Amino acid sequence: MGLKDWLKPAWKDKDRDTRLAAVNELTTQKHLISVALNDDDGEIRETALNRIDMSTLWEPQLLRRIAVSDRPWDTRLVAVDRIEDDNVLCDIACREPNPIVRWAALRRMENETLYEKVARSDAPDDIRIAALAHVEDEDALKQIFEAAQSEWIKEAAVRQIHDAEWLDSVARGDSIRWVRVAAVENIDDVQLLSSIAETEMDPFVKKAAIENIDNADVLARFRNDPSELVKDAVRTRMALSGDESLPA
């Protein structure tokens, strides 16, 4: 062992267990930061990060630096779990390639405007859909719907909207079946539902309209529909309404 090895502090030792033991006793903040950023071992980096004094003024910048670094995902996750700045969390949720870190950032956010930013971003669909669940501004949801390339984003946005006339236009005009079904499922206006059921050619969309109608007289108009799918929906709704007079 050379002189340099003798002079090297234990937290820089080549032996992993020696470094870990040293870091567990280390209190010098600049050394803990160095370990958190540079050690090759994930457990040692996490140990160092957890020992950094949270009251220090530079800690938010340090956490962000670690969270968006090229360090392994488990180290970045520890940093994300300590970040309190919603703007930083939003940036991570939008850009982070690792799904675990991405979801951790989204779960810590609280600002609806920033949830909207994630929903509008180029992040993967799963994180955008989760963000949409926190957006209540229907104008924003409509804009997200109109701009969406993904059918899953469109469907998720529709399920957050309750403007019956707008939903009616989507139910009649969108090109994607399941987006149209989602729109119908959010309509509670019997006249609109009846109109959709009368004019709709897609049996799945028509079935969705029937399943939202609870007026037996309206339902009875569809008892002879050519689609078995629709007729089954009519029978089920009539039975639930207490009228089982439809033929089997």
Q: How would you write the pLDDT of the chain (248 residues) with one tens digit per residue?
A: 454 555 688 989 989 999 999 999 998 888 888 888 888 888 898 888 888 876 664 567 778 888 887 778 888 888 898 898 999 999 999 999 999 999 999 999 999 999 999 999 999 999 999 999 999 999 999 999 999 999 999 999 999 999 999 999 999 999 999 999 999 999 999 999 999 999 999 999 999 999 999 888 899 999 899 999 999 999 998 887 665 554 44
Residue 54 and residue 79 in contact, taking contact as beta carbons nearer than 8 Å: no
Q: Which residue has the tokens 């980096």?
A: 45
Identify whether residues 105 and 200 lie together within a single domain.
no
Tell me how far CA of residue 80 lies from CA of 56, 137, 187, in angstroms. 17, 27, 40
Q: Among 120, 145, 170, where does a domain finish?
A: 145
pTM (2 d.p.): 0.77
| DSSP count for the chain of H helices, then E strands | 18, 0
Tokens of 240: 């639930």
Element (H, E) at 83: none
Q: How far apart are CA 210 and CA 3, in angstroms?
A: 84
Domain CATH number, residue 241? 1.25.10
Q: Specify the number of domains making up the chain.
A: 2
Structural domain boundaries enclosing 15: 8-19+39-46+64-145
